[in-house]
Amino acid sequence: MSGPPTETAAPQPSGIVERLVRDDVDRKRFLKMAGATGATSFGAFVLAACGSSKKSSTSATAPAGASKTAQAGGDVAIVNYALTLEYLETDFYAKVVAAGLFKGKVSALVEEIGRQEATHVEALKGTVEKLGGTPAEKPNAKFPISSATQVAELAYTVENLGAAAYLGQAAQIQSEEVLAAALAIHSVEARHAVTLATLAKKPITPDGAFGKPADMSTVLAAVQPFLA
């Protein structure tokens, strides 16, 4: 007699990065959409998030049972997570500018970074709405702003954390469009971090040749002291 039937676990939807790594057709389509600059950043995402670039015959489409609604739901949560971080960054730079700790070109640089973070906020809110979700509410924030040196070091830490946060979610993203947006923002966050490294006299690549991803719990714990 045959044994009792065993339950087969429902296949879990893989993130778009994993699918792109494993399928040439999807990868070429994405790289065409993201452009050459996105392709360079995509390589870093693959190394950090997947750890492999070997080809496989696995289909690039979502596995059976993974509905578009389920995929969108996961991406909404990820984008809202990113949106919350961008809210905090935008608020931080607004408070720094208001404190008047920097002058001249450095002040203009800080203001420009703040404007770019604000643009990220609007882009992510629009992405959530496009996915059929509700954008996260802006949290109340507090930041220690006591001196130009202290602020430069904090900004450096914040920008590196932001870049690590995007990298940490890459493997979970289901939508090519959402991944392309994350790549574009991740690249800018990393450039902010490098620029601020020169201001704060810190290493421009604190993790060496490859950026290290940070998971959601690690990032949220790191920003907790800044929530009012």
Which has the closest alpha carbon to 73: 11, 132, 124, 14?
A: 132
Per-residue pLDDT, 15: 62
CA 147 to chain centre: 29
Instruction: Find out whether 3 and 58 touch, Cβ atoms under 8 Å.
Output: no
- DSSP-derived secondary structure letter, 6: P
Structure-block tokens of residue 112: 């420009």
Per-residue tokens: 171:
């493997």
Domain-embedded: residue 25: no
Backbone φ and ψ for 141, nearest 5 degrees, come out as: -125, 155
Element (H, E) at 115: helix 104-130
Give 206's contacts (C-beta < 8 A, 6+ positions apart).
160, 197
Q: Which residues are registered as beta bridge partners of 141?
A: 227
What's the DSSP call for residue 137?
Answer: P
Which pLDDT score, from 0 to 100, does residue 50 have? 39
Within-domain flag for 164: yes
User: What's the domain count of the chain?
Assistant: 1
What's the CATH number where 204 sits? Answer: 1.20.1260.10
Confirm whether 49 is domain-assigned. no
Full pLDDT tens readout for the chain, 228 residues: 555 555 444 455 556 555 554 555 554 554 454 443 343 333 333 333 333 333 333 333 333 333 344 344 699 999 999 999 999 999 999 999 999 999 999 999 999 999 999 999 999 999 999 999 999 999 999 999 999 999 999 999 999 999 999 999 999 999 998 999 999 999 999 999 999 999 999 999 999 999 999 999 999 999 999 998
9 within some domain: no
Query: Is 210 a domain residue?
Result: yes
Predicted local confidence at residue 228, as pLDDT: 83
Which letter, b or e, does each residue of 175-205 get, where b requires 16 or more Cβ atoms within 10 Å of its Cβ?
bbbbbbbbbbbbbbbbebbbbbbebbebeee
| 90 part of a folded domain | yes
Which domain, by its residues, includes 98? 67-226
In order of 15, 42, 184, the CA distances from 35 in angstroms are 20, 10, 10
Kindly state whether residue 154 falls inside one of the protein's structural domains: yes
35 within a domain of the structure (yes/no): no
